[in-house]
């Protein structure tokens, strides 16, 4: 713990025991992780020994993609009622 910053020490001492207890509940029958990395971490760090599935986040890449050309951008702006010269920021 000596080489860790304050936040890491705080996490190790206060939060990790609660997480460990959470993952060791008897009534929890299965874990669903968002990645193989998370699955491995929970198994290694918290001793999870029951079934675990990995379900990756998904995005429809056909629907959620950048406009490919200026004509498509103009059409999208018209559809949304935004003027061509207006700045657009999307988060």
What are 37-79's pLDDT values in tens digits?
999 998 898 888 899 999 988 888 888 888 888 999 899 899 9
- Is the entire prediction scored with pTM above 0.75? no
Instruction: Check pLDDT > 70 for residue 2.
Output: no
53 three-state secondary structure: strand
| Residue 32: strand pairing partners | 53
Asked if 1 contacts 12 with a C-beta cutoff of 8 angstroms, the reply is yes
Tell which residue, 48, 52, 51, has the closest CA to residue 23: 48
pLDDT exceeds 90 at position 36: yes
| Pair of tokens at residue 2 | 């000596």
DSSP, collapsed to helix, strand or coil, labels residue 17 as helix
In percent, the amount of the chain with pLDDT more than 70 equals 93
């Amino acid at each position: 713990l000596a080489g860790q910053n304050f936040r890491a020490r705080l996490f190790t001492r206060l939060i990790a025991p609660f997480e460990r207890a959470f993952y060791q509940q008897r009534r929890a029958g299965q874990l669903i992780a968002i990645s193989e990395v998370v699955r491995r971490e929970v198994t290694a760090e918290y001793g999870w020994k029951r079934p675990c599935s990995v379900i990756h986040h998904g995005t429809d890449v056909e629907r959620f993609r950048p406009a490919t050309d200026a004509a498509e951008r103009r059409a999208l702006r018209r559809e949304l009622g935004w003027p061509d010269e207006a700045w657009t920021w999307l988060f």
